[in-house]
Amino acid sequence: MKKLILALSVAALLGMAAQAQDFNKEALLQKIAKNEAAAADAKKSTKAATWINLAKSYIDAAIQPTKGLYLSDDPNSMLLDIQVMALLGEPNSIEEVVLNKTPMMALVYDYVTVYSSDSQVAGWKQTAEVFDGAIEKALSALDKAYELDPKQASKIREQLVRIDNFCAEQGNTLNEMGEFRQASEAFETAFRAEMNPAFGTPDLTRLYYAGMLATAGGSADHELFKRGEEMLLKAREMGYVDEDGQFYYFLYHCYYGQRTDDPANVQKAKETLLEGITKFPNNQELLTSLINLYSTEEGLGDPSELIEKLDATIANDPQNIELWFGRAQIFVELKNYDEAIASLQKAIEIDPTSYQANFFTGYYFIMKADALNEEANAKRYTSMEEANADQEVILSAYAEAIPFLEKAHEIDATQLDPVALLRALTFRLRDREGMMEKNQAYNALYEQMQQQ
């Protein structure tokens, strides 16, 4: 309630006498009517300028309700709710709402509701249009303008860029508000603006975002999985280049989300992940999804075929250190730590100075020892000798981690993680020769690094 009272007080202090969102709607509509009449005139309709002017008037009407609103990733440059009220006028009402599980204030205007969290704008939803279908009509008008006179491309492009920017901004804020269908549609419209020849080279990430956002909304709106599939496949068909494997991750979810529509989609989901893993073996989300898919769905085969596929890829490119990392991660997911360690030792052979390869080899030895320790704790021993023998195996596994972690520290002495692990390991192994001295050294180094 405190925030609500504060916002109302701010509005009162501003002393805004103007009506909410005080802009000249009639002037915008009159401009559209005038330009529509020109476009209907037999003589004027043959000129590209007529259609450009018509498109401009449509765009002016489309962007007016949210003109001046923006989102920012920089906390220091975020739009404040007091700025919104200075920009749009006094809201019709200010309400307390919960959006995406976050308490917010909603500043309700005639055409838009602006959402604020901690006095900073988190997003907005446009609730009405000055002129229905203005952006679609603008796109059609600009298509007509280019058809009549391609030489007017630069002027046409100016209006296409306005549509592109407006729709992309709408897509971003709708995503923040959890309105995934509308966000996807906004990015698709931005892409369609870029597809006009006057624009130049279209940005395929617009289409990728349309697919990604549709996928994100699929769990709540099943039809969006199909839309996501269509957008993503179209982006790839047109030449979209995946940089980190997330394309395959989202396409996988599209197929798997449609498994009740057609069981064949489960196989498509699997094939998508397999293709993605061979190209992006370090993508943990792809890997985890694939392991989960094998464990959840019957009839997909054994996870070992994933290893076979990756090994075939490695055979063609044995010096690719990323493939060995991917192989290691797969075996870790399968809890086969010996094979994971062996894979990373191949990576070390390729690049002995790799911090990651040395650090994670040591880390996987610790994971192996932890797993052996859990097994030992679950056993019912019949003799002290048997228990001691198992403990010796466990401690030896922990000890094997030390040289790799020490090498990682040697490669990059600024990293705290190897020192923290070495500190813990040497204490655990303190009864072994030389370990207590090492523990004291790593304790001192750890404290020193913590202070820095």
Q: Which residue has the tokens 């990293």?
A: 415
* Element (DSSP H or E) covering residue 258: none
- Going from the C-alpha of 116 to that of each of 15, 40, 124, 337, 425, the distances in angstroms are 21, 44, 9, 49, 49
Among residues 32, 53, 226, the alpha carbon closest in space to that of 134 is found at 32
Q: What is the pTM of this model?
A: 0.74
Q: What is the 3-state secondary structure (H, E, C) of 363-420?
A: HHHHHHHHHHHHHHHHCCCCCHHHHHHHHHHHHHHHHHHHHHHHHHHHHCCCCHHHHH
Q: Is the pLDDT assigned to residue 325 strictly greater than 80?
A: yes
For residues 360 and 381, the answer to whether their CB atoms sit within 8 Å is no
**pLDDT at residue 7 in the model:** 40
User: pLDDT-based confidence at 22, cuts 50/70/90?
Assistant: low
The residue-averaged pLDDT of 305-329 equals 85
**pLDDT at residue 281 in the model:** 82
**pLDDT at residue 21 in the model:** 60
CA 407, distance to chain mean position in Å, is 34
φ, ψ for residue 252, nearest 5 deg: -55, -50
Q: Which residue has the tokens 């249009």?
A: 129
For residues 276 and 245, the answer to whether their CB atoms sit within 8 Å is yes
**pLDDT at residue 100 in the model:** 79
Tokens standing for residue 202: 């279209």
From 139-148, 212-221, 320-329, the region with the lowest mean pLDDT: 320-329
The segment with the largest mean pLDDT, out of 309-318, 380-389, 403-412, is 403-412
At what angle are helices 416-428 and 355-378 packed, to 10 degrees?
A: 30
Between CA 39 and CA 48 the distance in angstroms is 10
